[in-house]
Amino acid sequence: MRLISKKTDYAIKAICFIAEAKGRVVSVAELIREFDMPRPFLRKILQILKKSGILKSYKGQDGGFTLAIPAREIFVANLIKIFHGPIKLSRCVFKERLCSDVKTCALKVRIDTIETRVARELQSINIESLLK
Amino acid sequence: MRLISKKTDYAIKAICFIAEAKGRVVSVAELIREFDMPRPFLRKILQILKKSGILKSYKGQDGGFTLAIPAREIFVANLIKIFHGPIKLSRCVFKERLCSDVKTCALKVRIDTIETRVARELQSINIESLLK
DNA sequence: ACAAAATGATACCAATATGGTATCATTTAC
DNA sequence: GTAAATGATACCATATTGGTATCATTTTGT
């Protein structure tokens, strides 16, 4: 029951570092010199971020990554979604046999409220606000 | 990344039903007649709830369960904690090498704020409010 | 041309959490 | 004494998470 997994955590740190490089291409080698992350795992994460349009990549010697979009437009909620899908704090109980059950629905309404609020807050945290 | 797992879900439904029985001893047989839950799984859940002091149990024929404490004093947050441990939305990054990292801490503060709020809300939902 | 250094793609593996099953022991009511 | 209930415990299946390994491709520098 974690909002921030290793993947998200590594991704945030790497993106912050790349953002601070201000357009200079940053390689995985440089990132693992800076952070304590397993190289192949980080590579996989960066590849996913590239496919998701968060990073741009450059192959070949002196290759690496830059931001594909401004740091201000990258939100923590986006990253969580990329690695773990939509934020769903409770399963959809409506598919169950007893979906009309008052107890379940009364609870679902309240969990949904919490969920919406959490999602909104995560959507409000962008990478730019984590820099410096 | 679910707040309400199957265990918690089944537990809540079962506790609500037992609460509505108003002191009458309720057996597993009766519960699975009412709800669509796997018998051995539910048994395990109820045993844990008994050990946790939420339910009282009665062995032997005509045995079963009653509430050990009033429905008003059983909170959803308690149940989540029983089955999944303390609600921790982010891992403790302070143990990591780069714990003094500004980015990480800036994020941690914000995640912690969300976490505290979620925990408080879950702590405010008691079983009594889900009855009828 | 070629080697080095980088990412791209992909397959695989280990640990953990979750959801669930099965079995036997013990207790109690009739 | 038997049936019906919980107590205890061991086991299993699946999904998720975290991580490794390998080879292909691209680019730079000589």
Nucleotides in chain D near protein beta carbons (<7 Å): 3-10, 16-22, 25-29
Chain A residue whose CA is closest to B20:
A103
CA distance B124 to B122: 5
Average pLDDT taken over every residue of chain B: 88
CA distances, B131 to each of A92, B13, B70, B125, B128 (Å): 20, 10, 12, 12, 5
User: Are the Cβ atoms of B107 and A12 closer than 8 angstroms?
Assistant: yes
| Model pLDDT, residue A69 | 98
In whole angstroms, what separates CA A41 from the centre of its chain? 15
CA distance A26 to A47: 13
User: Are the Cβ atoms of A13 and B131 closer than 8 angstroms?
Assistant: no
User: Are the Cβ atoms of A36 and B9 closer than 8 angstroms?
Assistant: no
Amino acid at B25: V
Lowest average pLDDT, out of A2-6, B114-118, B127-131, goes to A2-6
Option in B35, B87, B90 nearest A98 (CB): B35
Confidence grade of residue B107 (pLDDT, cut at 50, 70, 90): confident
The CATH classification number of B6-86+126-130 equals: 1.10.10.10
User: Are the Cβ atoms of B3 and A122 closer than 8 angstroms?
Assistant: no
* Residue at token pair 């730019």: A128
- Give me the architecture of the A6-130 domain, per CATH: Orthogonal Bundle (1.10)
Chain A residue whose CA is closest to B36:
A97
| Model pLDDT, residue B88 | 74
Residue A10 near residue A45, CB atoms below 8 Å? yes
Q: Which helix (H) or strand (E) holds B65?
A: strand B64-67
Per residue in B44-92, pLDDT (tens digit) is 999 999 999 999 999 999 999 999 999 999 999 999 999 998 877 676 5
Burial class (CB in 10 A: 0-12, 13-18, 19+), A75: middle
| Model pLDDT, residue A97 | 41
Whole-prediction pTM value? 0.89
Chain B residue whose CA is closest to A8:
B90
Per residue in A69-89, pLDDT (tens digit) is 999 999 999 999 999 998 776
Numbered residues of chain B with Cβ closer than 8 Å to any chain A Cβ: 1-4, 9, 12-13, 16, 35-36, 76, 80, 84, 87-91, 93, 96-98, 101-104, 106-107, 110-111, 113-115, 117-118, 121-122, 125, 129-132
Query: How large is the average pLDDT for residues B108-116?
Result: 88
pLDDT at residue B119 greater than cutoff 80:
yes
DSSP reduced 3-state for B69: coil
Other CB atoms within a 10 A radius of the CB of residue A23 amount to 9
Phi/psi for A106 (5° steps) reads -60, -40
CA distance B8 to B5: 5
Q: What does the domain layout of chain B look like in residue ranges? A: 6-86+126-130
pLDDT at residue B95 greater than cutoff 70:
no
Residue A130 near residue B107, CB atoms below 8 Å? yes
Burial class (CB in 10 A: 0-12, 13-18, 19+), B60: exposed
Q: Which residues of chain A have a pLDDT value below 50?
A: 93-100, 102
Q: How far is the CA of A65 from the C1' of D20 (A)?
A: 22
Nearest CA to B79 among B12, B6, B1?
A: B12
| Model pLDDT, residue B64 | 98
Confidence grade of residue B112 (pLDDT, cut at 50, 70, 90): confident
Q: How far is the CA of A43 from the C1' of C5 (A)?
A: 15
